[in-house]
């Protein structure tokens, strides 16, 4: 898709053109559960000073998550990130607020979230159909989220009824619980590749998405959109704690692997890589400070307004 620079943007939107012209353009992409949000309590207060500072400077902070668009609607508001894009379902869905849209390329957003939605791969209906085929043909054991009742999803994830319903509103992916051995998993993975699908590991589920729909591909698309709007490429910083964050961390200029509350291997290939000592939002703030806390006095000394970030603590589980 060819990008054309937009000449007029809403005055109240945090778009690339809102950035301090004295700063090199910057962009933050971040995982949520176990990264910006605490793995257990889902609190993000340790990250609030940096969130407020970046918001004041007009540096977009973009959630990149396995959550659905429906789950992100209230969460973006709570985090103060409604003016920035989001990437949902591990890269299958990109949401663009008005300040990130091109008048000639993007249809107006609809629904209460008011964003333009880009689907980067196949729809969830195709994925579900192929999963049913391969489960029968290979004789492998797994349970799709779509196989679970609402009550089972609530019991498995700890979500309340409203958020469990939102987690089931898949557009371009399908979570599953793997119940077979490692050899069967590899056979299953190869079968999915023949359908143009891939398997990625999340916090509680494996996720099946289109092969071109991972977090890294979606982040690359947004960086190109940012460059078209801003007129120059940004210095990009990515933060995450899980295997499904690896492609994102390999796409950005500077990467942070936040120490996770799990034993999963996270080894992105990025020469500018920092591993935190702290977990969750404390590690998130540690990672941002490592790369950006000392290289520019305006970033380090900018006054912080805590009101720019919410005290919301979402009681929900990573999928």
Predicted confidence at residue 318, as pLDDT, reads: 45
Q: Which residues pair with 274 in a beta bridge?
A: 256
| Residue 112 confidence (pLDDT) | 55
User: What is the per-residue pLDDT across 19-73, written as a single tens digit (0 to 9) for each?
Assistant: 454 467 999 999 999 999 988 788 999 999 999 999 999 999 999 999 999 999 8
Q: Is 191 exposed, middle or buried (0-12, 13-18, 19+ CB in 10 A)?
A: middle
| Structure-block tokens of residue 146 | 């779509």
Read off the pLDDT band of 151 (50, 70, 90).
Answer: very high
pLDDT digits (tens, 9 = 90+) for 288-300: 999 998 655 556 5
- State residue 319's pLDDT score: 52
Residues 170, 68: contact at Cβ < 8 Å? yes
Residue 117: HSE in the Cβ half-sphere, 13 Å Cα cutoff: 18
Confidence of residue 104 (pLDDT cuts 50, 70, 90): confident
When mean pLDDT is compared across 30-39, 77-86, 153-162, 302-311, the lowest value belongs to 302-311
Reported as a pLDDT band with limits 50, 70 and 90, residue 302 is: very low
Q: Which positions are annotated as active-site residues? A: 31
């Amino acid at each position: 898709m060819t990008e054309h620079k937009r000449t007029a943007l809403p005055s109240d939107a945090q778009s690339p053109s809102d950035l301090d012209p004295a700063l090199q353009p910057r962009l933050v992409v971040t995982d949520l559960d176990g990264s910006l949000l605490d793995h257990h309590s889902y609190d993000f207060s340790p990250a609030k000073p940096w969130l407020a500072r970046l918001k004041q400077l007009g540096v977009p902070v973009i959630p990149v998550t396995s959550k659905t668009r429906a789950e992100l609607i209230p969460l973006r508001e709570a985090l103060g990130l409604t003016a920035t894009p989001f990437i949902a379902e591990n890269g299958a869905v990109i949401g663009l607020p008005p300040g990130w849209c091109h008048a000639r390329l993007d249809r107006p957003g609809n629904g209460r979230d008011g964003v333009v939605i880009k689907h980067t791969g196949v729809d969830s209906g195709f994925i579900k159909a192929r999963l049913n085929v391969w489960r029968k043909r290979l004789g492998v054991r797994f349970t799709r989220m779509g196989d679970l009742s609402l009550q089972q999803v609530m019991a498995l994830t700890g979500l309340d009824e409203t958020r469990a319903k939102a987690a089931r509103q898949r557009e371009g992916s399908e979570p599953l619980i793997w119940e077979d051995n490692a050899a069967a998993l590899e056979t299953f993975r190869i079968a999915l590749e023949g359908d143009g699908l891939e398997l990625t590991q999340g916090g509680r589920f494996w996720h099946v998405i289109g092969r071109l729909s991972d977090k890294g591909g979606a982040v690359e698309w947004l960086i190109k959109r940012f460059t078209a709007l801003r007129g120059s490429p940004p210095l990009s910083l990515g933060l995450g704690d899980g295997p499904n964050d690896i492609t994102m961390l390999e796409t950005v200029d500077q990467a942070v692997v936040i120490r996770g509350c799990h034993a999963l291997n996270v080894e992105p290939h990025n020469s500018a890589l920092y591993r935190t000592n702290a977990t969750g939002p404390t590690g998130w703030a540690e990672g941002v400070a490592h790369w950006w806390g000392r290289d520019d006095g305006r970033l380090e000394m900018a006054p912080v307004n805590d009101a720019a970030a919410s005290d919301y603590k979402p009681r929900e589980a990573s999928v």
